[in-house]
Amino acid sequence: MLKHFLPDQHVKNIFEIDPDGLREKGVKGIITDLDNTLVEWDQPTASPKLIEWFDNMRRNEILITIVSNNNEQRVKAFSDPLQIPFIFQARKPMTRAFNRALKQMGLRKEETVVIGDQLLTDVLGGNRSGFHTILVIPVAQTDGFVTRFNRKVERRILNWFRKQGKLNWED
């Protein structure tokens, strides 16, 4: 069961993910979390650097859908100015929103990656759904109440993986 919490890949931030590397792996789409993956959980808009990252993905024909557990107002306010499709109140790690995003993009699982900052929602949901998962370091050091609890559980899981020799990165 714990294997579902192990990401396929780990990067420091979203900017380490480039379209050339994705295309080499046959990836045509990204399902990404919003809060603490793309921007701080309390940041309403994308930074210029993030806008350029989105534009670079578009130029390289990589589709993106934001899948967030947050409410419609939050996700819509962030996504609409960028013209990025989104799914709100996703109930991750449940698999329904991941599969819905895949269908909206018209892609297969093998052509899509899931990117997020949490093991208990993004990685678990992506792995349970059969996607390649990429864990990023949270962009903010603060979290909402539920996420703070999740981070404590995640640290225990990561420590267990580390002791088993399944991790090859540092926090």
Low-confidence ranges of the chain (pLDDT < 50): 171
- pLDDT recorded at residue 168: 66
Question: Distance (Å, rounded) from C-alpha 44 to C-alpha 14?
Answer: 17
Give the span between the Cα atoms of 89 and 62, in whole angstroms. Answer: 24
Torsion angles phi and psi, residue 153, rounded to 5: -65, -45
Residue 29 contacts residue 62 (beta carbons within 8 Å): yes
Domain 2-163 bears CATH identifier 3.30.870.10: no
Which residues, at least 6 apart from 85, have a Cβ–Cβ distance to it below 8 Å? Answer: 64, 65, 66, 79, 101, 104, 105
pLDDT of residue 7: 94
Name the H helices within the chain.
19-24, 48-59, 72-79, 96-105, 124-129, 145-163
What is d(CA 99, CA 72) in angstroms, rounded to the nearest whole number?
19
Cα dihedral 125, 59, 48, 22 sign: positive
Q: Report the pLDDT value the prediction gives residue 93, as an integer from 0 to 100.
A: 96
pLDDT, position 3: 81
Tokens of 77: 């306010």
pLDDT at 149: 73
Give the distance from CA 132 to its chain's centroid.
Answer: 11
